[in-house]
Amino acid sequence: MAVIDVGRDSARINQLYYEHIPELGIPNYWYPVARAKDIREQPTPKTLHGAPVALLRRNGKIYAVANECPHRGTRLHKGSCEFPGSNTLTCRYHGWTFDVTSGALVGVLTDGPDSPMTGKARLRTYPVEERQGIVWLWLGDRKPVPVEDDIPPGLLMASEVHVVQRECYGNWRWHAENPGLGHATMLHRDSAYMRFVDFFGYGKRLQPVLMHEGVDGEWLQERFDDVGKGEHYPGLGPWPRRRFGEVIQIQELKPTLGVSTIVSIRLPGVVRINNYPFQGAMYYEWFVQTDPDHYLYFQVDCGFPKTVAQRLKYLFHYYAWGRFIGIVRFTMQDIDMVGDSHDLCKKQGHNDPVALFRPDHFHLAWRKYAMANLRGGPVPGFEDARSAPS
C-alpha cells in the first residue's frame, strides 16, 4: 500500500497532466462501447476518441471498422451486405466492398468484377471483444493487450450485469475526477437516493492510497478515518442540519468481493463504487470521449447472486430502486456539474484541483498516478507515484 503524496506539487502535476493526458481519451486501452445485444447486421455508428467507427455483426461475430469509406468519405453504416453470408460491407455510394475481418477492398461493384482497384485500398479495422454482454473496443495504435487486463475482475465474476449508457456534454477528465467525498456529501444531499439518509458532512483525514484490495486488483482509493457531522463552522453555525424525513442511519457497509473502500479509480479512468446502488452490488463506470464536447457515460452494475432466490432479490432491488433512483437519477446531478466544469475549462483553458482543498488530494493523486502508470511508460518525472509507503 502506498499513500500518494501530492505535497505542494499541484501546479506541476496539473501542467503536465494537460500536456500528456489527451482530452479525447487515453489511447491503447480497452473501452466498453455498446451492449452486445444492440449490435446487428446493419452497422451501428459510433464516434470514439474523435474517430468515426461502425460496429456490425457478420456470421454471429462483432466487428468494428472505420465508419468512413477511403474512396470519398461516405459513412459506411449507411451501406449494406450485398453478399449474404459473407463477411463484407458495401459502401452505399459507389459499391466499394470490404472484408470486415481484414479491411481489404475485395470488390468494386460499379467498376465491374475485373476492377483494377480491387485489393488496392484498405479500411481500418479495430480489435473488438465481447465479455459479459458488453462490446469492448481497443482504441489505440499498439498491439492490444488481452482484454481481461482492462476489465475489472469483479465485472468478469458477476452473475448479473446491467448497463446504462448515455451521451453527455463535457469531458471525460472532469467526470473521472468527480467521485469522492469532496462533492458527494454536498451535491447529492437533496437527491431522492439520499433524501431519507442521515448523511454526514465530510470525511476526516482523507488519504489517496494506491493498493490492492480483494479480488479486483490495484486501484487508487479514497480512504478516511472518521466523519464530521453537525459540527460548528466559525461565524456560520452547525452543518449539516438535520433534514425533515431523515430516518435511515448510515451503517457500516460490508465488503463486496473483499473490497471495503467506497470510491476507487484506475487507468484509463475507470471508477468503482462499492455497494452501489445497494449493498452487495459493485458498480463501475467508464467515460469514453466521442468528440471534444461529448462523452459516452457507460455505467455497469454488477451483482453476485448464486441462487434463484438471491437473483430474484437482486433484480427486485435493482429495478424497484437501484436503476432509476440510483444509477439514472442520482448521477444526473454529476452530469450537470461536469458540464459546468467543461464550460469553465473552455473559457479559461484549465480546470484544476487545488492542494489547499484537502478533498482535491484524491484528484491530484489520480493525475499523478495516471501519468506514472500510463501504458507504454510514465510521463518524465512521475516514476515516483508509489514512493510514499504507508
Give residue 249's pLDDT: 62
User: Rounded CA gap, 100 and 130, in Å?
Assistant: 17
pLDDT at 250 over 70: no
Examine the domain organization and report whether 19 and 43 are in the same domain: no
Asked if the model's pLDDT at residue 115 lies above 70, the reply is yes
Give a yes or no: residue 139 inside a domain: no
Per-residue DSSP letters for 196-229? TEE--SEEES-EEEEEE-TTS-EEEEEE-SEEE-
Q: Does the bond joining 380 to the residue before it have cis omega, within 30 degrees of 0? A: no
Q: Are residues 167 and 84 in the same domain?
A: no
Same domain for 219 and 121, yes or no, is no
* Same domain, residue pair 255 and 182: yes
The closest alpha carbon to 93, from 107, 111, 72, belongs to 72
Q: What percent of the chain has pLDDT over 70?
A: 96
Residue 318: what pLDDT? Answer: 96
If one counts the domains in the chain, the total is 2
Average pLDDT (85-110) is: 97
pLDDT digits (tens, 9 = 90+) for 67-89: 999 999 999 999 999 999 999 99
pTM to 2 decimal places:
0.93
Of the segments 206-215, 297-306, 354-363, which one has the largest average pLDDT value? Answer: 297-306
Range of the domain at 43: 31-131
Same domain for 339 and 209:
yes
Residue 292 grid cell:
471534444
CATH code for the domain in which residue 230 is found: 3.90.380.10
- Yes or no: say if 378 and 201 are a contact pair by the CB < 8 Å rule: no
Residue 298 vs residues 32, 34, 175, 327, 386: alpha-carbon distances, Å: 7, 8, 12, 11, 29
pLDDT of residue 6: 78
Last residue in a domain, options 77, 106, 131 = 131
Do 218 and 349 have their domain in common? yes
390: confidence class by pLDDT, cuts 50, 70, 90: very low
Q: Is residue 115 part of a domain?
A: yes
**Mean local confidence (pLDDT), 19-28:** 96
